[in-house]
Chain A
Amino acid sequence: MDSVDYKKYILLSIILLISTIFNSNQSILSYSYMNNNREILQILCVDMENKPLNKAEVIIKDLNGKTVYNGTTNSTGWIYIELPKEKYILKILWLKTPVYMGNISLTKPLIEKIQCKVYHLTIAINLLYIIPVRHAKITIINTTSKKTVYTYIGEIKIPYRLYILSAEKTLRLPAGNYTVIVEMLNRQSQEINLNKSMKIVFPYIASFGSLFILICIIIAVISCICFLITGHKRTKVIKSNH
């Protein structure tokens, strides 16, 4: 191989090297060029149990109070926005109630995890603490604003537990004072101050199904007692005859 061939190969290698470097940096270069005044803001909204809040309303305002963004989080609790480099006021709403408010300074790409004041409220509906009520109407009223924040009518699941049967509905509510009303054949309400995740039990709500089971249990217990009494009486009679 002569020296001309060597030169050709060296030149070709240099061209390839330069093109590779250029290609790898092209996206970064173009991005910096196009967004030199804007940055990406990624926000993850979670509740107090660190569970993502999906469909939480996120409002971003500039320091003049002008809304620059208004949207909701995705199913994993994230929002991705591109905004000019500036300081902003971030507000997060859950069930139309503010659960977070704070400032953010967007000077570089920012990823923020925000823990909102949203607590888990588990409503257990069991007749006499032991018989689950599978259908009920649940209404939750904010005691302060007197507004109904949540209404549910339908089937209530009985989660699998090793030791208890209980019909439970878990909700995520902003911190505050609430009146929880549960209705089926009768109605029961409880006032709560939701400042931590909690479980409330409604032990006196009756449905046709739970009443049926209760009546069956009572009959079974009475018949068991009667069986034992009549059986023992007969034993005594037989023994006295002997």
Chain B
Amino acid sequence: MVLIEYEARDTIIHRLNSLSKLIWFSGIIFLLTLYLEPQPLLILFIFELFIGYLAKIPWRKILARAWWAFIFSIASGYSISLWVNQPSQFTNVPKEFACKVLIQLTPEGTPLLGYTAITYGGLLWGTAATLKISIAVIAACILSFSTSISDIIFLWSRFLPYRLSFIITAGMRFYPVMVDKTQEIIIAAKSRGWEISSRNPVKRVKSLFPIVFPAIREAVVLAEKMALAVEARAFGVKKPTNLRQISFTYSDFFFILFNVFITGILTYMWWFYGFGRL
């Protein structure tokens, strides 16, 4: 699922080949898995904003479409942080500082919840979790905004087994088609007086049948047509020929070099200096 669609623009980031952008994206995701503390995530965030600025990304559009992801990241991050209050959870941050309780919510031995409290360590963890989700969402948006799906598919076809690549491609390509078809079905059903008014959950589920069944039918028809087309092109007989080549420019080379070294430095600092450990 893409939050923001590809737009063909003439920016430095758009002109990079898809492999360079994928390396940047992989580097960001790799670093996000390492960190539990906000300092390095702030560096990553600034770095991402810089890339987004170069790609001339529509920030307002991202906010309008991905607001729920940011709200979810804040709510989930700070909720789970209530359980981050034990000294054993901290290795780098001084335990006496990290476990300092600001507000105790439930005492030890509370059924189901256990001991929950707002602590400095918990707040650090919550901020890091929020930042991690936000950075991942923005990075995905930058990638999908600056790289066409056909470019991503072409990359997959180079590295993945071609059958698997075809499955992923088909899934991605037909997701917007299916969304459009479902919208059409909903509009058609509404024109016939269909609506969900009942508050009874069973009735609500039942009222979805006029949408779900035609949608499944459409999907099956689409799959059948596609299977026929694929068979007509002799898919599976032998490995398909690639019609495109990945071309590297100096710009791509320097962008990859920059990303590899930034990822390397931050990983080294995490490993040896404990930078980003809680």
Q: Could you tell me which A residues sit within 8 Å of B by CB distance?
A: 132, 134, 158-160, 162, 165, 209, 212-213, 216-217, 219-220, 223-224, 226-228, 230-232, 234-235, 238-239
Query: B258 and A220: CB pair below 8 A?
Result: yes
Query: A224 and B254: CB pair below 8 A?
Result: yes
CA distance A231 to B255 in the complex (A): 10
- Asked if A230 meets B251 with Cβ closer than 8 Å, knowing A160-B93, A220-B258, the reply is yes
16 extra A-B contacts, CB within 8 A, seeds A158-B273, A160-B94, A231-B251: A158-B274, A159-B94, A165-B273, A213-B268, A216-B264, A216-B268, A220-B262, A223-B255, A227-B12, A230-B250, A230-B251, A231-B15, A231-B54, A232-B12, A234-B251, A235-B11
Contacts of A228 in B (CB 8 A): 12
Query: A220 and B265: CB pair below 8 A?
Result: yes
Quick check: is B257 within 8 A (CB to CB) of the other chain? yes
Contacts of B275 in A (CB 8 A): 165
The contact of B261 among A159, A223, A231, A238, by CB within 8 Å, is A223
Query: A223 and B254: CB pair below 8 A?
Result: yes
Which of A209, A212, A226 has the most chain B CB atoms closer than 10 A to its own CB? A226
Main secondary structure of the interface of B (DSSP, over half): helix
Measured CB to CB, the nearest residue on chain B to A214 is B265
Measured CB to CB, the nearest residue on chain A to B264 is A216
- Asked if A223 meets B258 with Cβ closer than 8 Å, knowing A216-B265, A217-B265, the reply is yes
Quick check: is B213 within 8 A (CB to CB) of the other chain? no
Quick check: is B10 within 8 A (CB to CB) of the other chain? yes
Measured CB to CB, the nearest residue on chain A to B39 is A162
10 contacts between A and B (CB under 8 A): A160-B92, A213-B265, A213-B268, A220-B258, A220-B261, A227-B258, A234-B12, A234-B15, A235-B10, A238-B10
- Asked if A227 meets B262 with Cβ closer than 8 Å, knowing A165-B275, A238-B10, the reply is no
Query: B251 and A227: CB pair below 8 A?
Result: yes
CA distance A216 to B10 in the complex (A): 30
CA distance A66 to B219 in the complex (A): 102
CA distance A224 to B275 in the complex (A): 23
Measured CB to CB, the nearest residue on chain A to B38 is A162
Quick check: is B150 within 8 A (CB to CB) of the other chain? no
- Chain B residues with a Cβ closer than 8 Å to the other chain, count: 27
* Residue interface bits B41-53, CB-to-A below 8 A is 1, else 0: 0000000000000
Q: Could you tell me which B residues sit within 8 Å of A by CB distance?
A: 10-12, 15, 39, 54, 92-94, 97, 249-251, 254-255, 257-258, 261-262, 264-265, 268-269, 272-275
Main secondary structure of the interface of A (DSSP, over half): helix
Measured CB to CB, the nearest residue on chain B to A164 is B39
Contacts of B273 in A (CB 8 A): 132, 134, 158, 165
CA distance A65 to B93 in the complex (A): 50
Measured CB to CB, the nearest residue on chain A to B47 is A224
CA distance A213 to B254 in the complex (A): 18
CA distance A159 to B96 in the complex (A): 13
Contacts of B93 in A (CB 8 A): 160
CA distance A205 to B272 in the complex (A): 18
- Interchain residue pairs A-B with the least CB separation, the first 5: A231-B12, A227-B254, A220-B261, A223-B257, A223-B258
CA distance A238 to B12 in the complex (A): 11
CA distance A216 to B264 in the complex (A): 8
CA distance A213 to B269 in the complex (A): 9
- Asked if A230 meets B249 with Cβ closer than 8 Å, knowing A134-B273, A223-B254, A235-B12, the reply is yes
- Asked if A234 meets B264 with Cβ closer than 8 Å, knowing A158-B273, A227-B254, the reply is no
Query: B269 and A227: CB pair below 8 A?
Result: no
- Asked if A212 meets B12 with Cβ closer than 8 Å, knowing A132-B273, A162-B39, A227-B254, the reply is no
CA distance A158 to B91 in the complex (A): 12
Measured CB to CB, the nearest residue on chain B to A232 is B12
Contacts of B251 in A (CB 8 A): 227, 230-231, 234
Contacts of B11 in A (CB 8 A): 235
Least distance between A207 CB and chain B CB atoms (Å): 11
Contacts of A235 in B (CB 8 A): 10-12, 15
CA distance A227 to B93 in the complex (A): 37
Least distance between B264 CB and chain A CB atoms (Å): 6
Contacts of A219 in B (CB 8 A): 257, 261
Which of A132, A228, A231, A234 has the most chain B CB atoms closer than 10 A to its own CB? A231
Query: B265 and A226: CB pair below 8 A?
Result: no
Least distance between A159 CB and chain B CB atoms (Å): 8
Measured CB to CB, the nearest residue on chain A to B37 is A160
Least distance between A71 CB and chain B CB atoms (Å): 31
CA distance A238 to B251 in the complex (A): 14
Least distance between B23 CB and chain A CB atoms (Å): 13
Query: A226 and B250: CB pair below 8 A?
Result: yes
CA distance A220 to B10 in the complex (A): 25
Contacts of B250 in A (CB 8 A): 226, 230
